[in-house]
Amino acid sequence: MLKRIVFAVIILFTGLSIAQNGTTSPYSFFGAGELKFKGTAENRAMGGMSIFSDSIHLNLQNPAGLANLRLVNFTAAGSYKYVNQQTEAESQNATATTLDYLAIGIPMGKFSASFGVLPLTAVGYKLESETDSSITQYTGTGGLNKVFLSFAYKVTPKFNLGVEANYNFGNIERKTLISQDDIQFGTREFVKTDLLGFNFTFGAEYKTMVSEGLELTASTNYSPATKFTIKGYREIASILISPSGAIIPVDIREENLENVEITFPSQITVGAGIGSPKRWFIGAQYTNFKNSNFNDPELNFGTVQFIDAHKYRIGGFFIPRYNSFTSYWERVVYRAGFRYEGNGVNVKGEDINEYGISFGVGLPIGKLFSNINVGFELGSRGTTAKGLVKENFFNTFISLSLNDRWFEKRYID
C-alpha cells in the first residue's frame, strides 16, 4: 500500500512543483528569490528547530539524523499562506499555496539513505514605482528546486554522521516596463535565466542519557558555499502602449547570457536540547547564513546590500502517553516554537527581519506509528519605514508521515 501511495504522490508532485509560484513577497525581488524553509512540518511546528530526530520521522535539515530511522518512511507536505502586505499608505492581501517537499527514507542497519525533492527559493512579485512623469512596473516569477540524496552512518550508539548531495535547478523570469508621459516610446526589459548547481551538506549528531530519564541531544550541519551556473537571455525592446493597455513592440534586441555564475552562500547550524525519550523535548538552535558573500551579477535589480543572516529558533514537543490504549489524544504529539531571523538583505538602510510563533499536532493514523501533522504559524516580516513593505502572515501546513517495513523475510505468504 505504501509503495502505491508513494508512486501516486510522486506523479502529483512532479506535475505541480514546476508550475507553482510559492511566494507573493516583494522581497523575492532580490537575489535568487525568497529562501524557502528546508524542513518537515514537524520541524516547522517547533519554530523550525531541527535538532530532534527519531526512528519514525525524516529529518530534512540534518542528514546525520537519518541514522536513527528504523522504518521505511515516506513523507510529503503542503502549505497555505495568507499575508497582509502594507505600506505607510496602503494595504493589500495575498495568498500562496505550495507543495513543500516529498521524500523517502530507507534504513539499512547502521546505514540509512533518503532522497526527495523540495523548493529552494521562490520568486513571485508585482511592484510599481511612480513619479510625476513616469511609471515603472516590475514582475517576477520562478525559483529554484532541489533534488537531494542523503546518507547517514551510526558511528556509535550515541554518535551519527551524515552527508547530503543536492542538485539544484530552476528558472527565473523578470520583466521591467517603463513608460514616460513626455516620451512616445516606453522600454521593456525581459530577463529569463536557467540556474544549475550542486552543493553538499554535512551533519553530525550526538545523543546521550545524562540521567535515568533525561537525554541530551546536540547537532550541527554545514553547507559550503557553491556556485550556480546561469544560462538565458535578456531582451530589451522599445514599445508602444495602446489606449487599451496592449503592448506593441517596436524594436527588439536580444543578448544571450552565458558563462555567468553566482555564488550561493555557506550556512552553518548548531543546536542542543534535552528531553525524556518518547515523552517531551525542548531545544534551541542558531544558524549563520553568510549572505554577505552572495554575488549576483545578473539577477539583482535595485539597490540592496546583502548581509549575514542570523537565525534563532526554540521549540519542543510533548506526548502525554505514546503507548496509551485507552485515549487517542494521549498519543497525539503537541508541538510549539518561536523563531526570529534575518533575511540577509538590507534595503534603504533597513534590515529585513522576520519572526514567527508556531504550534501544531501530530495525529496518529494506521499502524507502525504513521501520522498526519498539522501546524499553524503567525508572524511578521519587514517594516513600513522608508517606503518599504511589512508583511503579516498566517501559515497553515500539513504533512503525511507514513511508515512501513520493507525487505522482510516472510515465512508464510
pLDDT tens-place string over residues 339-396? 999 988 888 888 999 999 999 999 999 878 899 999 999 999 999 998 889 999 999 9
User: Which residue, among 2, 29, 221, has the nearest Cα to 124 in the 3D structure?
Assistant: 29
Tell me which of 26 and 398 has the higher pLDDT: 398
Contact present, 396 and 80 (Cβ < 8 Å): yes
Tell me which of 263 and 163 has the higher pLDDT: 163
Alpha-carbon torsion, ordered 26, 31, 34, 35, to 10 deg: -160
CB atoms within 10 A of CB 155: 14
Q: SS3 for 114?
A: strand
Which residue type, as a one-letter code, is found at position 350?
E
pLDDT score recorded for residue 7: 46
CB atoms within 10 A of CB 367: 9
Q: How confident is the model at residue 19 (pLDDT cuts 50, 70, 90)?
A: very low
Contact present, 213 and 148 (Cβ < 8 Å): no
Q: How confident is the model at residue 215 (pLDDT cuts 50, 70, 90)?
A: very high
- Among the residue ranges 71-85, 149-163, 288-302, the one predicted with the least confidence is 288-302
CA distances from 193 to 23, 28, 96, 254, 264 (A): 18, 15, 23, 13, 16
pLDDT score recorded for residue 154: 96
CATH number of 2-404: 2.40.160.60
Distance CA 149, CA 16 (A): 21
Q: What is the mean pLDDT of the chain?
A: 87
C-alpha torsion sign, points 150, 77, 274, 340: positive
Distance CA 400, CA 371 (A): 6
**Full-model pTM:** 0.88
Q: Which residue has the cell 497553515?
A: 396
3-state helix, strand, coil in the chain (%, to 5): 10, 65, 30
Size of the chain in residues: 413
Whether the per-residue pLDDT at 127 is higher than 80: the answer is yes
CB atoms within 10 A of CB 76: 24
pLDDT score recorded for residue 269: 97
